[in-house]
Structure 1
Amino acid sequence: MLLTDPTGVAFFDVDGTLVPATSSSAHLSGFLGHRDVLVRAEEGYAQGILDNREVSEIDAAGWAGVSEGEVLGWLDELPVVVGITETVTWCRRSGLVPVLATLAWSPVGGYLADRFGFQAFCGPRLEVSDGRYTGRVARHFDEYDKRDFALAQARRLGLRSSSCAAVGDSRSDLPLFACVGLSVAFNASSTARAAATVTVDDDDLRSVIPALSRLTGRSDPEVAR
């Protein structure tokens, strides 16, 4: 359901934020059979040794020959933080458009948007032929593309970036953190904490609601747990 006359946008990261202590790619790589390779690549990205393009190509190669339907089945087992549904509902009731701003593969973003009610999502795309992944990247997407996607979403809604919030946890969130009015480091790395407006540590996403309420002016930000 589209919001009419929203007051802001709340952008949520996926890996490490909605998917705690791991990434959607690491989860899927366990089924695909290249988890150890992918985890090493993600560690290289976190340390600044590899860039997003290199990690994406390493991961994509492991998808070769797998069907789109198989991946959707594996996503049903994706570990997610509690409180997503309630937080998305609160955002909508408070005039904030909930959007996924992520570097997770587009099947992951689409799955989570459908499951929890996010209005839009972004991310890199894998090449598909006859319903199966080829092992190649169809579209690369890095942290600056993520920022640009978010800013474009705000413009489309007629909103300034100062009316937006971003919830994230790591290096890939820093360009977006620098552009929005409110940034929330949720169970985050030291670099994300240093860049954020506020830091929240909890195993329930609803804990970010008091911070997000700064954009809405609501005096009763709590929701039932």
Structure 2
Amino acid sequence: MAHHTLESRLPQLRLAVLDVDGTLKQAESPYRYLHRRLGVADLAAPNRELALAGQINYAEWLRRDAALWAGQPVRKLRRILAENPYLPGAPELLAALKQAGVVVALVSAGFTLNTDPIVAEFGLDYALANELTTVDGVLDGGAINHVPEGGKAAFARALMTDLGIPPEQTLAAGDTRGDLELFACAGLRFAVNPRSTALRARADAVFEPDLTGAVTWLTERGYLPQESANQRISESANQRMNE
């Protein structure tokens, strides 16, 4: 882990807006993860190539990918997504933030089937992600794009305005160039295994290969209270050992 020290810049955190895939969860893309697990990676490859070449926009890419999963039971996808593990240190970070009274929001260009279980597990406050549409518990091949380009920043700014929380008390975390817009909103920025040199350069702390040490980083600098963070980390570890 590398970091820059900012001890005098920020008061205690009140809001954390976190990317999910590659930041909290190990798979960098839930789309590629599902394509691989469902055996449609070869069919999905042309969609990715067209999108990266700028020949289709993100909404169309989402629509085409979702169409490949038509007919799949929601229950099956939930099970597959649950098998995508957290990055080490991510559960402890989420638990410590909540224990300290920080408002925690997830924002993902993935989908709600992936974010909803995290919200439920840790009692998080907000989440925004794209939505796969269903009929009678089965994917119908449709999708609703709730997180368009620029959508992460818009979500973060709306939360900050509604809650009256300034950038100086806001943490953002991400792993790709697409999270730069999120970094622009926050006073404290975590890059997790950054796949973008620009994101790495903008980060106040870089965590590699995982989030182990993130809670310590925050508590040592006064962004989280030491006592409550330690208590919640211990509770989280015990709970997960008993699962």
Q: Which moved more, 1:187-196 or 1:24-33?
A: 24-33
Aligned residue in 2 for 1:109? 115
Structure 2 residue 130 is the aligned partner of structure 1 residue 119: no
Counterpart AA for 1:155:
T
Aligned residue in 1 for 2:23? 17
Distance in 1 separating the partners of 2:222 and 2:161: 17
- Cα distance, 1:47 vs structure 2: 7.9
Offset from partner CA, 1:14-53 (integer Å, 9 cap, x none)? 1111122532222222233222444665577678776432
Aligned residue in 2 for 1:174? 180
Q: Is the 8 A contact 1:13 1:101 kept in 2?
A: yes
**What stretches of structure 2 of length at least 5 have no aligned partner?**
1-11, 238-243
Q: In the superposition, relative to structure 1, how do residues 149 and 93 fare at CA in structure 2: closer, same or farther (>3 Å)?
A: same
Q: In the superposition, relative to structure 1, how do residues 215 and 108 fare at CA in structure 2: closer, same or farther (>3 Å)?
A: farther
Q: In the superposition, relative to structure 1, how do residues 215 and 22 fare at CA in structure 2: closer, same or farther (>3 Å)?
A: same
Aligned residue in 2 for 1:3? none
Counterpart AA for 1:126:
L
Aligned residue in 1 for 2:207? 200
- Work out which of the two has the higher radius of gyration on C-alpha atoms and give 1 or 2: 2
Aligned residue in 2 for 1:209? 215
Structure 2 residue 138 is the aligned partner of structure 1 residue 132: yes
Distance in 2 separating the partners of 1:129 and 1:120: 25
Q: Is the 8 A contact 1:162 1:179 kept in 2?
A: no
Secondary structure of the residue aligned to 1:100 is strand
Distance in 1 separating the partners of 2:87 and 2:53: 25
Aligned residue in 2 for 1:63? 69
Structure 2 residue 191 is the aligned partner of structure 1 residue 185: yes
Distance in 1 separating the partners of 2:218 and 2:187: 10
Aligned residue in 1 for 2:4? none
Q: In the superposition, relative to structure 1, how do residues 176 and 130 fare at CA in structure 2: closer, same or farther (>3 Å)?
A: same
Q: 1:9-158, aligned counterparts within 5 Å?
A: 9-20=15-26, 22-38=28-44, 41=47, 51-158=57-164
The sequence identity of aligned pairs, in percent, is 30
TM-score by length of 1: 0.82
Q: Is the 8 A contact 2:98 2:124 kept in 1?
A: no
Q: Is the 8 A contact 1:103 1:143 kept in 2?
A: no
**What stretches of structure 1 of length at least 5 have no aligned partner?**
1-5
For the aligned residues, what is the CA RMSD?
2.9
- Cα distance, 1:186 vs structure 2: 1.0
- Cα distance, 1:55 vs structure 2: 2.8
Counterpart AA for 1:148:
A
Distance in 2 separating the partners of 1:51 and 1:207: 37
Distance in 2 separating the partners of 1:200 and 1:135: 36
Distance in 2 separating the partners of 1:16 and 1:47: 23
Distance in 1 separating the partners of 2:130 and 2:172: 19
Which structure's relative contact order is higher, taking Cα pairs within 8 Å and 6+ residues apart?
A: 2
